[in-house]
Chains A and B, each alone.
Chain A
Amino acid sequence: MLNPHPDLTPSVLVGLGWFYLVIFLMNLLWTIRSFKVDGEYRSGMPKASVWAVYTSILMMLSFYHFTYPVEGFMFSMPVAFKDFFDAYFSNPVLYFFLTIVGLWAMIQFREWWTRPTVAWVLLNCSLIFMTLSLTDYDFRQIVGKPDNVPIVAMLFIVAFFTWIYFSRAVDNDRRIAEGRPLFEQEDNEKVLVWPDLVYTELICMVVLTAVLVFWGIALQAPLEEPASSMKTPNPSKAPWYFLGLQEMLVYFDPWLAGVVLPSIILGGLIAVPYIDFNKTGNGYYTFKQRSFAITTFLFGFMPLWVALIVLGTFLRGPNWNFFGIYEYWDVHKVEAANNVNLSEFFWNGLGLGIPKGSGVGDILLRESPGIILTIVYFAALPPVLGLTVLRKYFVRMGVLRFLVFSNLILWMAILPIKMLLRWAFALKYIVGIPEFFFNI
């Protein structure tokens, strides 16, 4: 009991033993499938034998966890790895960069990773990473919090549905390229409402209810301290689905992050059908035919929404500081945060000094670089884009639709742009007029 933050305890080992047992059972079924489907190596050895070996190791691991005492237990996340991970991956810049890279890789290598065996290997990797990480106290504190369990589940669910989409899309793209009928045409899934749909829905309802009841019994409601305006929790976090918005608050004034941007997201989503001119891809999975729309959506959804939720949940700690997943959430950690407004950069950079005075004219003069930049961004960029990069879209959309479309794209882009500016130049606001509560 001396160490209040023990990495390993008997109950953790037993829990992990069950975890490995589940992975073992999953892989047992996979091995059987592999034996039936995968065939043999050239040497004549069934490919399933590799899975068999892996599966038996899992079983042994499970057994090891159940029986071995805490002292001297060997199989845990190496400290060196944890230290490395915390040292190099606990900063938002790299995190954001990696999510973008991940998105690119996901699209680029879609044909590879949608293959069942690859996907299964990836799933196994993530599960083993998870079990190993769970041997760390601090990781367990974040992931094991009853609040955060659904978010962990969400990661796997999002991955699964993304995989479904990409594997179907890859398959259909291939079929189109080869001139074969689409999967949806070949495998006509038209079914009767009764009993096929309604009956299965009923069963789903029953099972889901049971799952929720079991969940409610197993994981008690995560009550924290009584609410007090005198003493707020540190960190104070929004509900998980708003963590993306909360992350925006780091970079934007509350009225923008909390009011304008969410409104534009909603408005933008409503506007999508009216902007979309691409008639292909209706009623079937495809990537190639709708690559721009899907990439744009995935960019908005994966790095800018899901990834920010994950960031807000697992990586933001006390004082809204950034913590590695194996790092102790120390309230005393201090990060330098001296951010500077664009106007200060501009005037000081020119050596003129910031214009003083509290008159409207003075303020506008002071903030003129940012104001001009903002106007240029929203007013001048669309025509420029329409005449150059997005010329094809401009032509097919017409002026009005194109202006709405390009503005939405620009709004979407300001989040990563602002993030980059913050990280690169410690830029606080492009237009900073606290006198009017107006900051961009």
Chain B
Amino acid sequence: MPATDNYRWNQKTLNGVFAASSLILLLSVIVMMRADQADEWKGYQRTNFKLDATVRKADLAKIESPEFREQRAEMDAQVKAAEEKLAQIKIDQAPIFKEQDTLQRSVDALEINLKFKNSIRDQARAQYDLAVRDALAADLTQARFDAFRSKQDECDATKVELDAAKELLAAKNSEVKALTSEYDELVAAREKLNFDAERVRASVENIAPTNLVSSWKRAMMELPIIDGFNSHLRIVQDWMPRLSQTLGMAEIARFDRCRSCHQNIDKTTSSGGAAFPPGHPSTASVEDWVKENKFPQPFSTHPNTELFCTASSPHPVAKFGCTICHDGQGSGTSFGNAEHSPNDPHLAHEWHDEYGYHPNHFWEYPMQPSRFAESTCIKCHHSVTELGISPKFGASAPKVVKGYELIQKYGCYGCHEMHGFDGGVAIGPDMRLEPQTPEEAARIAADPTQVAGKMRKVGPSLRHVAAKTTDAFIQYWTEDPSRFRPSTKMPKFFGLADHLSEADAAHTAKFEAAELAGVAAVLIGTSQPIELLKPEKSYVANAERGKELFSQRGCLACHQHTAVPGNTADFGPNISDIHKKVLRNADDDNFSDWLYTWIREPERHHKRTRMPNLYLDVYTDLDGTTLIDPAADITAFLLSQGKSEQFAVHAVEGEELDNLVSLYLEKTRFSKSAARGIIESGSFPQKLADVVGDEQALASEDGAAITDPGVWRQKKLEYVGRKTIARYGCYACHDMPGYELARPIGVALQDWGRKDTSKLGFEHIEEFLHHHGEPAGSAFKSTGERVVAANRKAEAGGAAAGVFTEEEEASEMSAAFFYDSIQRHGRPGFAWQKLRAPRSYDFEKTETKGYDERLRMPKFPLKEDEIEAIATFVLGMVADPPAEEYVYTPNERDKNRIEGEFLLAKYNCTGCHVIDLPKVTYATDLEDVTATALSSADHQNALDILLKTRPVTQALTGEVRDFVIDDEKKSLHLATIRAMVAVRPDLEEDIVDQEHGFDLWETAEFGTGESMKRLLPGERITIPAQQLLKYEHARGGAFAEWLVENLMETRTGGNRSLAWQQSPPPLYQEGGKVQTSWLYQFLLEPGKIRHTTVLRMPRFNMSEHEARVLANYFAAADGAEFPYQENPATDLDYLSMKQAELAHAGMLVDGQSYLNESWKLLNGQLCVKCHSLGGKKFKASDPAKDIQGPNLNMAQNRLRADWVKLWLYKPSWITPYTSMPVNYKNNTNEMPDLFKGNADAHVNATRDALMNYTRLLEEIGQTTYTPPAAPAAEAAPPADAAKPDNAAGAE
């Protein structure tokens, strides 16, 4: 109904509605702008400006100390006084100032005048040039030239005038300057004083202006729309065009805007430390943060500026950005959009409340939670090893390396291929089995797009297993390996029934009994014959001696045995129970030929074994009469631990065996009735020759039925066994005949970190974990319950509130994280549970699938933290390498070092050898440190070589700590040295009196500059027990250390140095000692070097390439030259120079030849006392006491020239425990007929004779040199004996 006659709507009402709707529209625009202004990053940047201003103000306060202010006030007063004085001068000398002013004006006027005239002249010149170009009439051109000329003249005239005026002005200026100089100088000095303060003040003013106009301007720049024009609040982005990222189908450049909020991430102090160390300050005020020097996120600096973000680190943020390591959405500028990921569900909860966090499954690569932070390292660090050990950065990613090592240890790659190459291009860590046959190896070598795997199978070879053990043991062992050997790496395949119903478990057990018997039947049945070694028929093995040999010949470097306690080696299996399982000789129950063979020549049983050949050859004992066969003795010792055991096996029910056979036959190509027919008749419908595959086990050669029920049963067992082996992939770890070409059975893992989560079979795992999932004896009924409890405790404050212990919190919140991940169907959770209880994904699935379709993954003996480490590694396998320049490509030296590290672990070199010495950190009074003084016997030259060739380290850490010593408070400096234990404290004594003794192995400097005190290697350092703060064990050499203690007890009567001489030598600075080419040969075929040691370097089953890398490794690690070295001492130029030099010095007379004389020297009485040399054999005068050194004929090929020289000068500087004496003392004048008895020349000559050994032996031959009336040089007693303070009783 119309409201008025004219209009349907009341106009006033409409106006009102229109006004209201317009206001709503305005409001919407305001709300929109407000929402835009409320960006999180702007808030953070504002806070950061506040923080920055606070820091700078604090800096300013530091600069403007009271003294400074006083100084400045004084300066101000002086300036003021000078100013007043100047004012007076200006009045007194007014004419001068006036004249100066007038002159200045006239100069200014002239300058302007000249400028005008010049421009007019230029115009005239241009006119003339144009005339020339256009070829105008000659007169016109001439006229223009004339015009130019006249203008030029005018300019010149004015210039003359100007110069004159300037001269006058300059004279006047200097007059004035003389009057004002005092004031000027004061002002300049004040400016200089104020410079730093003003600079900081200006920077504060810049970000927190006090000036009204500036602060208004700053505020304006933050307003909407205006802020688009170079506001100080702005997005910071790092653009990495070469570090592309894949978004769906598109490969696009990476933009990281993380620094919009994390503005201080790369800020360092001038000394290189973090400018804003991360932490949790107690309040929310920036002033307190600065005071506490702790800064919360996102205002803190990166926790590891040495490695990340800063320009000097290997990963500067401008080149790498953030998301290549952290993942997440780099383009996001809010907490949510950046896809931060919480480290546990409790943190997620907190984030939810604080930042509105919620997981966004649409972004496929959210940031890694901090527990997986290291997993992305392997995107670029494909060889992984460098992340575990680096001379510069140490262990930079220990967790991912731990995962890598666990995978190596358990041989996951046997089933799960981790292919590090795609068409020959590296895409990630490469972990694959090596080619299993020569044909395969040849095929791969011939294909340029393929790279062969390099991993060996982790399990022992089963190729000749029938010679090794029994059918029953195979069944017993396979059923549950850890039952026999708790420390075994072999996982459990059978009896995993936690997820099964009781009835199902019982039924499964019956099937499994048949499978176990089947596997054993196949292994024994296909086992190949092996020719076993036997000791001499007449030889009577001595178990007692066997035990000693077992301890001392190196077995314990890899194995443990309860009969020889105190050793923790776990590279090889713990063999305490080996006597129970090994097959003994039929005719002699106390001996096993197989074990004898294995010990003596392991590669006979397994070509690719990592067990080395220990050279356990037969020898005669000291008196030369008794034959000793160490391998036989060790065998006897091992077997003497007990009788062989009869292992109980499960009986196989015939019906279940038939059911299993039927099941597999049906899966192949037979109907149920046909399968039953085969089983009942014992007749397979084909002849053996026509059958392909596992069914061969059932077929007979002529196709006839097998009537003997025993034989038929065995055939069925073999069939089931073959199927079982194929199903469980036993060949992934074990070398087995017939399975050389079998493929890995598991899912390839090289890109598992990006696997589509919808392809993961979670099945009913949530339900399982809701009711089960914890081992028997756990405090919780189910994993679900455990996690609820953990979250509740975290809610209650966690470790900080004392509800948790730190370790508990770590482990329980880790479980909570993974559980939560499972709930969200994430990869981490899947991997975690898969490793915890691999078959649990079959929970309530077994009812609906066939027995052979059940999950197959076995349960490994892994702890939860190990699982997390493996998950970290596997999640990092993304097969998505960045551009080439980002992938870590080490230089030659680092490459050899890294590959060498890998081999050290592969062959357990560190089992015997100390690779890096122990580090001892202790507190010392610098007053008490006595620098090593060179004695008169020492050579200055030697010290020069020492300092040049071997690293010198600063011992002081810079830290000072307070101690109470003898009731006196003292501030002591902390020092770290590399040294070996020399004296152990007497634990009986009072703790105050206990003292440790260490032998220094390096040159350590205490302090710098004038006050520096230098301690040389070999120095004994005594440290009171209370001042010893930290003893970091040597890297490697646990066995050597054990053996030293053992030998001190059994052989050397407590002499530690002698014991070390008999043990595997530390390989400290080995690279600078030996020649690479020699080491290469030695590794492949180690010869005997030392006569003192109780064991020999064994021969490893190493490829030539590996030997080369390892030989290079030592040189690379020690910064020595490699792979080839010059031997300067053999250089003819060098020798003739030496000849001339010595002749000139009068040390060679009458045409004596340098080398001849040197050869004489070498063949003198000194060297031959301990070494075989020059055709003369070492003869011990007292076999029990005399020490035979290495044969000297090896030196020229083995040792580096510089090293030999230093060794001859001062052996204890290189090896403190050596028995080698200083033969050429500086202060003696022995053998004066040779080189005038000059000790320095003797050292050099001896070295050169050694280095030219072969040549001299050939040219001169055997020589005996007896110096005229030379007193026989005494071989110095061993180093230890030389030091009376080394009380042997301390051991």
Contact = CB atoms under 8 A, between A and B. Distances in A.
Given A1-B345, A196-B8, A228 B249 contact: yes
A155 interface: no
B11 interface: yes
A168 B1074 CA distance: 106
B791 A1 contact: yes
Interface stretch (A45-53, A57-65, A187-195): A187-195
B1273 interface: no
Contacts of A207: 21, 24-25
A4 B249 contact: no
Nearest to A191: B8
A76 interface: no
B959 interface: no
Given A207-B21, A225-B363, A331-B758, A200 B9 contact: yes
A200 B14 contact: yes
A3 interface: yes
Contacts of A187: 1
A3 B18 CA distance: 49
Nearest to A5: B823
Contacts of B31: 213-214, 217
Given A227-B248, A228-B248, A213 B362 contact: no
A225 B7 CA distance: 54
Interface in A204-258: 206-207, 209-210, 213-214, 216-217, 223-231, 234
Contact of A2 (B6, B22, B250, B345): B345
A231 B17 contact: no
B348 interface: yes
B1106 to A, nearest CB: 40
Interface string A247-285: 000000000000000000000000000000000000000
A226 to B, nearest CB: 3
A187 B2 CA distance: 10
A246 B363 CA distance: 27
A2 B791 contact: yes
A203 interface: yes
B506 interface: no
Nearest to A230: B249
B25 A206 contact: yes
B21 A210 contact: yes
A206 B18 contact: yes
A192 B6 contact: yes
Contacts of B29: 213
B18 A202 contact: yes
Given A1-B791, A1-B820, A210-B21, A234 B362 contact: no
A84 interface: no
B824 interface: yes
B420 to A, nearest CB: 22
Given A1-B820, A187-B1, A223-B362, A209 B14 contact: no
Contact of B823 (A2, A214, A229, A331): A2
Interface in A40-95: none
B756 to A, nearest CB: 6
B73 interface: no
Interface in A1-60: 1-4
Contacts of A189: 8
Contact of A217 (B11, B32, B791, B820): B32
Interface in A397-420: none
Contacts of B24: 206-207, 210
B823 A3 contact: yes
Contacts of B6: 192
Contacts of B27: 210
Contacts of B823: 2-4
Contact of B787 (A2, A199, A226): A2
B21 A203 contact: yes
Given A234-B758, A331-B758, A226 B21 contact: no
B756 A231 contact: yes
Interface string A111-126: 0000000000000000
A189 B2 CA distance: 8
Contacts of A1: 345-346, 348-349, 352, 791, 820
Contact of B250 (A224, A225, A226): A226
Nearest to A9: B352
B209 to A, nearest CB: 33
B364 interface: yes
Contact of B28 (A199, A210, A226, A227): A210
Contacts of B345: 1-2
B964 interface: no
Given A202-B18, A207-B24, A2 B820 contact: yes
Nearest to A318: B758
A68 to B, nearest CB: 20
A210 B8 CA distance: 26
Contacts of A203: 14, 17-18, 21
Contacts of A4: 820, 823-824
B1269 interface: no
A271 to B, nearest CB: 37
A204 to B, nearest CB: 9
Interface in A270-325: none
A184 B345 CA distance: 65
B788 interface: yes
Contacts of B820: 1-2, 4
Contacts of B349: 1
B249 A213 contact: no
B249 A199 contact: no
B160 interface: no
A105 B839 CA distance: 55
Contacts of B692: none
B35 interface: yes
A116 B779 CA distance: 64
Given A209-B25, A210-B28, A225-B248, A217 B787 contact: no
B249 A227 contact: yes
B180 to A, nearest CB: 67
A379 B24 CA distance: 60
A223 B8 CA distance: 46
Contacts of A331: 758
Interface centre among B31, B787, B819 (most CB of A within 10 A): B31
A199 B788 contact: no
- Of A1, A203, A231, most buried by chain B (CB within 10 Å of CB) is A1
Interface in B348-386: 348-349, 352, 362-364
Interface in B904-927: none
B362 A196 contact: no
A110 B414 CA distance: 73
A199 B7 CA distance: 12
A226 B250 CA distance: 9
A217 B21 contact: no
B934 interface: no
A196 B25 contact: no
A191 B11 CA distance: 13
Contacts of B363: 225
Nearest to A228: B248
B356 to A, nearest CB: 10
Given A224-B362, A227-B248, A206 B21 contact: yes
A217 B27 CA distance: 12
Contacts of A192: 6-8
Given A191-B7, A195-B14, 15 more contacts: A1-B346, A1-B791, A2-B787, A4-B823, A189-B8, A196-B7, A196-B9, A199-B18, A207-B24, A210-B21, A214-B31, A217-B35, A224-B362, A225-B248, A226-B250
Interface of B: 1-2, 6-9, 11, 14, 17-18, 21-22, 24-25, 27-29, 31-32, 35, 247-250, 345-346, 348-349, 352, 362-364, 756, 758, 784, 787-788, 791, 819-820, 823-824
18 contacts: A1-B791, A2-B345, A2-B784, A2-B820, A192-B7, A196-B9, A203-B18, A203-B21, A206-B25, A207-B24, A210-B21, A210-B27, A213-B29, A225-B363, A225-B364, A226-B248, A226-B364, A230-B248
